[in-house]
Amino acid sequence: MKVINMLVALSIGMVSLSSNAMGNQSEKQPLTRHSVGISLAAGGAEYKGSSADGDGVSHLYAYYNYQFNDSIAWEVGAIGGADLDDWKCNEIEDNRWECLSDSKPIFNLDANELYYSSLVFAAKGKLQLSRRNSLYGKIGGQFYDYEFERNNTNLVSEDGVGLFLEAGWQLKWDSGWGINASFQYMDMGDLEVSSFGTGLSYSFN
């Protein structure tokens, strides 16, 4: 809970600071209104407070940003993710390995597969550190949907509206290309996902 509170405070604080930030104009890159990006993240999840070894998840996030000014942007994006299988590899002969997926139940359920997706709407605040480096925070909401399955049989299915938070660092070149590293939190009702990710973006007018 402390991590969530810190992320909320950081995201709100960065959006607030960004709206009032005054920087050296010579250090700023030209303002580009539009940007698209994609990031890959992996982390852990909790379902109804259950967190156990093997409850790992990974997701892909694709998004679009509209930059209102140098510091504030509006973002819309889509997330698609699933649980991470544990793999065990054994050497059965010299230089020959056999790898099998561990399909044990997850989250103390009879399910062994989790799929989730969400549509995200968020405000993004940026705090410029130098011409190319900046810190950022995102706070918003998401329309989520997730399913627990076993052998392609649906066991649990939920959808709703939840909190979306992200905080990170980004590096942007004058060409418009950029990279970022971030920590992300998604509240999907009984399911909570915390992850670390890296991404690639491109900005244009």
Task: State pLDDT tens for residues 147-204.
Answer: 998 888 888 999 999 999 999 999 999 999 999 999 999 999 999 999 999 999 999 9
Residue 151 near residue 81 (C-beta atoms within 8 A)? no
pLDDT tens sequence across 87-141: 566 667 777 766 655 566 777 777 888 999 999 999 999 999 999 999 999 999 9
What domains lie within the chain, and their CATH numbers? Answer: 2-22+35-143+157-204 (2.40.160.20)
Please spell the DSSP secondary structure of 75-128, one letter per residue. EEEEEEEEEPPEEEEEEEETTEEEEEEE---STTSS--EEEEEEEEEEEEEEEE
The pLDDT value recorded for residue 135 is 97
| Res 22 pLDDT > 50 | no
pLDDT score of 4: 55
The pTM assigned to this predicted structure is: 0.80
pLDDT score, position 202: 98
Across the range 38-53, mean pLDDT stands at 84
How far apart are alpha carbons 50 and 85 in whole angstroms? 17
